[in-house]
Amino acid sequence: MSHTSGCSILDNLTTSQPQLLTRCSSTDSGSQLVLNCHRNGTAAKDINPTNAAQRPLNAGGTRQAAVDADGGIRNSGFVDNFAVQRRHSEYVEAYADMLNDCSGKSNARHARPLSCFVQTKLTKNGYVSALQGEHEVQGPWQNSGQLRQEFAAKMAAWLKPLNSQNNLCNGGIPSQNHILAPKIQNSCSPNGHKKGTVTLSHLPQRPPVDIEFADISYSVSEGRRRGLKTILKSVSGKFRNGELTAIMGPSGAGKSTLMNILAGYKTSQLSGSVMINGKERNLRRFRKLSCYIMQDDILIANLTVHEAMMISANLKLGKDMNLAAKRVVVHEILETIGLKDSSNTKTCNLSGGQRKRLSIALELVNNPPVMFFDEPTSGLDSSTCFQLISLLKSLARGGRTIVCTIHQPSARLFEKFDHLYMLAEGQCMYEGRVRGLVPFLSSLGYNCPSYHNPADYVLEVASGEYGESVQKLVAAVKSGECKKFSHKDYGLTAVRGIANDIVKGDNDCNNSNSTSTNNATLTATTTLTLEDEKCKMDEMSSTLMSHSNALNNPILETQQSQLSDCTVINLNIPNSNNDNGNSNSGLPYSCSFSSKGGQVALTGAAEKAAAAGCTTSLLDSHESVVTLPNSSGFPTSGWTQFWILLKRSFVTIMRDRMLTHMRLASHVIVGAIIGMIYYDVGNEASKVMSNAGCIFFTTLFTMFTAMMPTILTFPTEMSVFVREHLNYWYSLKAFYFAKTMADLPFQIVFSSVYVIVVYYLTSQPMEWMRISMFVFICVLTSLVAQSLGLLIGAGMNIEAGVFLGPVTTIPTILFSGFFVNFDTIPGYLQWVTYVSYVRYGFEGAMVSIYGMDRAKLECHEMYCHFRSPKKFLEEMSMDNAEYWIDAVALLGTFVALRIIAYFVLRWKLHLIR
Ligand SMILES: Nc1ncnc2c1ncn2[C@@H]1O[C@H](COP(=O)(O)OP(=O)(O)OP(=O)(O)O)[C@@H](O)[C@H]1O
C-alpha cells in the first residue's frame, strides 16, 4: 500500500524562484520510500551518490546508483548506525548533487520552466536508488516559505533514521519527581511541525554545567630529600557544556592529574579554584552532577548488561521512581547506546567497545551533566574509537560537558572534538577550538605540514621536537593569544567566509549568472542535525554553495549551537522573488532528530524551545527535578544501598562457579581425605595425639580456606568500588558491609560441611552438644581468618596480600598450643598466645571434644596413657580452658578485625584522593 511518508509533510515542494524550481514528492509503499524531486533542468542524469561531489555533470542519459542504506529502515545498533549514517550521508550528498545538477542546468536555461526530475528509492533490502530525469514544470511557484520548510522536513525525514545517537539528550520531556513521563512519539502536524521528540526522554533532568578552573597547581611529595614535585603549574581554562573537550599532551604532561582534580578525585595538595557555572565549586554537590569513567572500565563480571544497568538504576534513581519506570530508562539507554542486543550478555563476555559503552550507559542512568573520560579510546581499534568518540560527541550535543584525556588521536578522530586543552610539562600550551590549533601554531611559527595530522604535529611540538617550543606556546597562552581560538564559533565563521568566497563567484564551475538575483529575502533554513556526518554535510553545503550562484547568492551559515544537540548547518537559500535585500527575513527552521528511527522534528523559531526537546530539558531543569539526595547525600538510603549491594554480591558469588564450586568441592574432598587418614581415631585412647593433630589440621584448614580468597576481595573489586563510590552510587559503609556479609553464609556452610565430614569419619563423640560446639568454634575460627584476609586485602595490593596472609599466620600457628605447650613457652612470649586466634580456635575445639567431663576413652592397646580425656587436656595445658572464653575471644577478634578493615579501606580511599 502506498501512502505519503512520515509526517505527511512535503508532497510538493517548489522554490519560488523561476530559475530554481524544485518539486518533491514522497511515497512510502512499505517496502520502499520514494522521494521524487524536480528542479529546473534539461537533461536526465544518473547519479552515483558515493562520489557525487566530484563527478562532472553528465547531461543526458539515465544512470542509476545504489547505495546501501538498510539502516534507514531499521535501527540496527551502534555499529550499524555508523555505517548507516555514512550511507545516508552519501545518499544526501548524491541528492544534493542531483539538485546541483538540476539547478545548474536550470539556470543555464532559466527562461524555461523545466524541472529536473530526481527519484530516489530506499528499498527494504537496503539500497537507495536514484534516478534523474527532466520534465516541464507545471503551475505557478508560490508560497515558497512553506514549501522550503517542507523541503527541510523532507530532508530531515530522510536523515532522521540514521541519527539515533545524535539525540542522547540530557533529559527529555520534563517529568516531575521521576514520575515516568509518557514517551512522546514524534508526530508531525499536517504542516510538518513537530509535536514531540523521542529521546532519552525518561532520564531525570539535570542542569547544564560549565567548568572553569583558574591557577590550578598540584604537587606531590617525593620524599623528605627530594621534596615536592610540581605536576601542574598554574593552569587555567574553561570547559563548556554542549562541547566535547579533549585534554591532550605528551605522556606525563599531567592530563590524568588535571582530570582527577576537575572531577574532584584529587582534593589535597592543590591550589587554585574550580568554578561551576561561575560559582565556587561545592565538591560534594559537583560530584553528584558528574561522573568519571576510568580507562580500565572494570565491570562486575558475572552480571548481565541488563542486570548491571538495573543495579545502577536502583542505586542512582532512588525510590521515587518505580521499578517499571526504571526498566524503561534502562531499556531506553541500552537501545540508544547500542547495547540492546547484548542485554543478556554477561559483562565479562562483552567486547572492548561494548564494555566502554556499558560503562557510559551505567553512568547515564541518572543523566550526569558532566562526564569525564580517562583515555576512553585506549585499546580500541580505529573504527570502534570513532564510534565511541561519536557517541561522546552526541552526549555532548545533549548539553553535557564531556571531557576526555586522549592520546594521539587520528585526524578523523581529532576533528570530532570541539575543544582542545593541550598540556605540556604541566602547563597549558593551547586552549581553544580544535580548528584553531593549526592557525594558532602557525601564528607562532610552527606550521603544520600539509597532510600531517594536527594531533600528531602538536604532540611533536609539545615533546620538543621543534626546539624550545613549549615555553613559547605557554607564554602565548598566558598572554591571551589563543583566546580568539576559544570562542565556540571559531572556525565556523571561517567556513562561512570560505563559503562566501565561493559564493562571490570566484568559482565559475557551474553558473556564472548566479548573482543576477542577489536580492533574496525569504529564507528557508534547513537545519540538519547530522553531527556525525558534519564534514559530509559541510561538503554538501559547499556543493550546494557552489551552485549558489544559481541560487542567487545564498548564505551558507554553519552554526554549532553550544546548547543544542546538533551541529547545525543552515543553508539559507535566498528567495529571488523578494527584492528588498533582506536575506534573513524567513523563519529559521530546525530539524532535530530523535533516537528512534524514522522520526523527525521540524520546528520554526516560534517552536524552538519545544523543538529542542533535548536541549531545553537540560537547560530548563531545576533542582526540583533532580533526584534529591537523602540526608546521606546518596540517592538511596544506606539500608537500600546495603540491600542492593548484598544481593549483587550474593549473585556474583553464586555465579562464580569456578570459585564457589571449587571451594565447596575442596571442603568435601579434603574433609573426606582427612577423615580417611584419621579414620576412627576419635574415641581411641592410644591415638589421642593423632586425634589432636586431626583437630589442629581442621582448625588450620578452615582458617586458610577462609583467609586466602578474601585477601583478593578488595583488591580485585577496588576499582569497581572506587568508580561507583566516587560517582556517588553508594557509601563505603554500604559497600563494605554488603561485601563482607555476602560471603558469610558461604563460609559458614563450607566450613560446616568440612567439619561434619571429618567429625563423622574420625568417630568423634556423637553428642549434639559437642558436635555443635566443635562446628561452631571451627566456623568462628574461619570467620576470624576471613576477616583477617579482608583486612590484609583492604590495606595491600594482591601481591603483597598473598605474601603477607600466610606469613602473618605462621606465628599465630606456632603459638596455638599444638606445637609447644603453653607452659613451655617462655614467660615473656606467653602473651603472644593471647593474640593468636588459632590458639582460641584449637583450644575451643579440643575442649569441645575432650572437655566437659567426657568419659574415659576406649583402649585397644596393652596400655593407654591418656584414657582419661582430662589428663590429656592437662598434658596440652588446656585443663583450665573455658570454651566460652575461646568463643568470645574469637567473636571479639572477628568484630575488631572487621572494624579495622573498614577504617583501613576508608584510609585507602582517602589516599586515592
Ligand atoms: N603520586 C605521585 N608521585 C610522584 N609523581 C607523580 C605522582 N602522580 C603523578 N606523578 C607524576 O606526574 C606526572 C603527570 O602524571 P599524569 O598521570 O597526570 O600524566 P599523564 O599526562 O596522564 O600521562 P599519561 O598520558 O602517560 O597517562 C607524571 O610525570 C607522573 O610521574
Measure the CA–CA gap between 608 and 601, rounded to whole angstroms.
10
Is residue 463 one of the residues assigned to a domain?
Answer: yes
Instruction: Select from 257, 258, 470 the residue to mutate for testing ligand 1; criterion: most ligand atoms less than 8 Å from CB.
Output: 257
Amino acid at 631: S
Is residue 898 one of the residues assigned to a domain?
Answer: yes
Quick one: pLDDT at residue 395? Answer: 82
Is residue 470 one of the residues assigned to a domain?
Answer: yes
Nearest to 10 by CA among 153, 156, 139: 153
Higher pLDDT, 411 or 631: 411
Amino acid at 69: A
Task: Find out whether 552 and 577 touch, Cβ atoms under 8 Å.
Answer: no
Quick one: pLDDT at residue 47? Answer: 37
- Choose the final residue of a domain: 428, 455, 485: 485
Please give all residues whose beta carbon lies within 6 A of any atom in ligand 1, as ranges.
Answer: 220, 222, 229, 231, 249, 251-257
Is residue 227 one of the residues assigned to a domain?
Answer: yes
pLDDT interval class at 167 (50, 70, 90): very low
Instruction: Select from 228, 229, 407 the residue to mutate for testing ligand 1; criterion: most ligand atoms less than 8 Å from CB.
Output: 229
Quick one: pLDDT at residue 311? Answer: 92
pLDDT single digits (tens) 785-844? 999 999 998 888 888 888 888 888 888 888 887 887 777 788 788 788 888 888 899 999
Is residue 303 one of the residues assigned to a domain?
Answer: yes
Length of the chain: 913
Is residue 282 one of the residues assigned to a domain?
Answer: yes
What backbone phi and psi angles, to 5 degrees, belong to 223? Answer: 100, 170
Q: Which residue has its alpha carbon closest to ligand 1 atom 8?
A: 220
What backbone phi and psi angles, to 5 degrees, belong to 844? Answer: -60, -40
* Summary count for the chain: helices (H), strands (E): 28, 20
Domain count, the chain: 2
Exposed / middle / buried, residue 439 (Cβ in 10 Å: 0-12, 13-18, 19+): middle
Measure the CA–CA gap between 783 and 890, rounded to whole angstroms.
9
To the question of pTM greater than 0.90 for the whole model, the response is no
Work out the number of other CB atoms within 10 angstroms of the CB of residue 906. Answer: 14
The H-assigned helical ranges of 505-637 are 534-546, 608-611, 613-619
Quick one: pLDDT at residue 647? Answer: 92
Q: Which residue has its alpha carbon closest to ligand 1 atom 7?
A: 220
Residue 391 CA to ligand 1 centre (angstroms): 28
Residue 367 CA to ligand 1 centre (angstroms): 30
CATH number at residue 438: 3.40.50.300
- Choose the final residue of a domain: 485, 511, 546: 485
What is the average per-residue pLDDT within 887-910?
A: 92
What is the average per-residue pLDDT within 107-124?
A: 35
Residue 290 CA to ligand 1 centre (angstroms): 23
Measure the CA–CA gap between 357 and 220, rounded to whole angstroms.
33
Q: Which residue has its alpha carbon closest to ligand 1 atom 28?
A: 252
**What SS3 class is residue 23?**
strand
Task: Find out whether 100 and 510 touch, Cβ atoms under 8 Å.
Answer: yes
Lowest mean pLDDT among 61-65, 198-202, 371-375, 716-720: 61-65
End-to-end CA distance of the chain: 64
pLDDT single digits (tens) 279-293? 888 888 888 888 888
What backbone phi and psi angles, to 5 degrees, belong to 302? Answer: -95, 20
Residue 564 CA to ligand 1 centre (angstroms): 35
CA-405 nearest atom, ligand 1: 22
Residue 458 CA to ligand 1 centre (angstroms): 20
Is residue 125 one of the residues assigned to a domain?
Answer: no
String of b and e for 872-897 (b: at least 16 CB within 10 Å)? bbeebbbeebebeebbebbeebbeeb
pLDDT above 80 (res 852):
yes
493 contacts: CB under 8 Å, gap ≥ 6: none
**DSSP-assigned beta bridge partners for residue 32:** 123
- Choose the final residue of a domain: 457, 485, 513: 485
Is residue 32 one of the residues assigned to a domain?
Answer: no
Structural domain harbouring 784 = 638-912
